[in-house]
Amino acid sequence: MFCVDDVKRSRKGEPKVPVNENSPVIKAFRVYQSELDARHDKHERLVKVSRDITIDSKRTIFLLQRVAGSDSECAVLEEASEKLKQIQNTKFSLIAKELQDEDPYRFIRAYSPGLQEYIEAVSFFNYIKCKELVSLDTIQQDLIFPENIDIGQTYDPKNQAEMVESQASSTAVNQSEQKGTIEVHVPPIEYMLGVADLTGELMRLAINSVGAGNLDIPFEVCTFLRKMQLGFQSFSYVSREVKKKLHTLNQSLQKVETACYTLQVRGSEIPKHMLVDVLSSPMREIHMYTDDQSMDE
């Protein structure tokens, strides 16, 4: 009893120490206080939005994975594109607003998980749609918003057209100087990390599509992954993060290559509906030379 009372008293006693509001030190610290609080609040808000983006992007990716089994590829793509646009307009516009007049690199840690997941979703969508790697430019274009945008308002459908058109154009990244727009700046390194995540999804797509009876997709994916691997390997200087992703990429590639091998050798011998089992189960045996790690990160 006594002890508890004592502790309580000392805790209560602390704020009782009078703070001399007139002292210059205290005045200065009041300023620092409000500045720190404002920054922490902004950080928290960004983390929240980023988390929502991650969830929504994951859902979009799951939706896109269903392409393998579904009859109408168009319908799925339509829905996915709708979802992605929704993420841009409801979530990223919020981030853009928060980051207005800020150094984009200051808060990058707060929203980078969401951004990467989103890039993964967009690039996956783009792969299924036109079998190409989405460019940084395209992604950046989608994340530029007019100033004073109303949150939730459906955004200009012109954006969609731009997405396909500006594919090839690779102008400078810095469009932020345009007057009257706010943007979520996408640092190239974030883009690359997002794109690296794509490989895991492609691997899954390749395996799943065999189940759906499409035996061409694994070979397509395989060629695509090889190119990506070549690209990633060519970088002279990379962060540890990229190296880790490259490792996963190699694993995904190996899985797809093994799958292609199996298809080539035994594809005609095995009834189609059993191929998936053949691909997913004995793969580990064929696979002995790879590290035995789980498929995802």
Partner 1 sequence: MANESSMTTIFSDFQKYLNEEQEIREEIRVLVRDVEQTTREIHTQLQLVHQHGGIKQVQEYCEKAETSFATLREQFRKLAEVVPAGQYYRFHDHWKFSMQRCCFLSAFITYLQTEKLVTREETAAKLGVQVSRENGFHMDLDDFLIGVLQVASELSRLAVNAVTASDYSRPMRIAKFVAEMDAGYRLLNLKNDALRKRFDGLKYDLKKVEEIVYDLTIRGLKPSEDPPKE
Contact set with partner 1 (CB under 8 A): 17, 19-20, 23-26, 28-30, 32-33, 35-37, 40, 101, 103-106, 108, 131-133, 135-136, 167-168, 170, 187-188, 191-192, 224, 227-228, 230-232, 234-238
Least distance (Å) between residue 287 CB and partner 1: 27
User: 162 near 212, Cβ under 8 Å?
Assistant: no
Between residues 78 and 241, which has the closer beta carbon with respect to partner 1? 241
Q: Give me the torsion for CA of 184, 186, 190, 193, rounded to 10°.
A: 110
State how far the Cα of 70 lies from the Cα of 86, in Å rounded to an integer.
Answer: 23
Which of 71, 103 has the CB closer to partner 1? 103
Distance in Å, CB of 33 to partner 1, minimum = 5
- 133 vs 286, beta carbon nearer partner 1: 133
Q: Which is nearer to partner 1, 125 or 191 (CB)?
A: 191
CB of 37 to partner 1, least distance (A): 6
| Closest separation in Å from C-beta 41 to partner 1 | 10
C-alpha 61/C-alpha 290 separation (Å) is 27
Cα dihedral 159/174/57/252 (nearest 10): 120
Shortest CB 210 distance to partner 1, Å: 22
- Considering beta carbons, is residue 171 or 293 the nearer one to partner 1? 171
Instruction: Specify the residue for token string 């102008």.
Output: 171
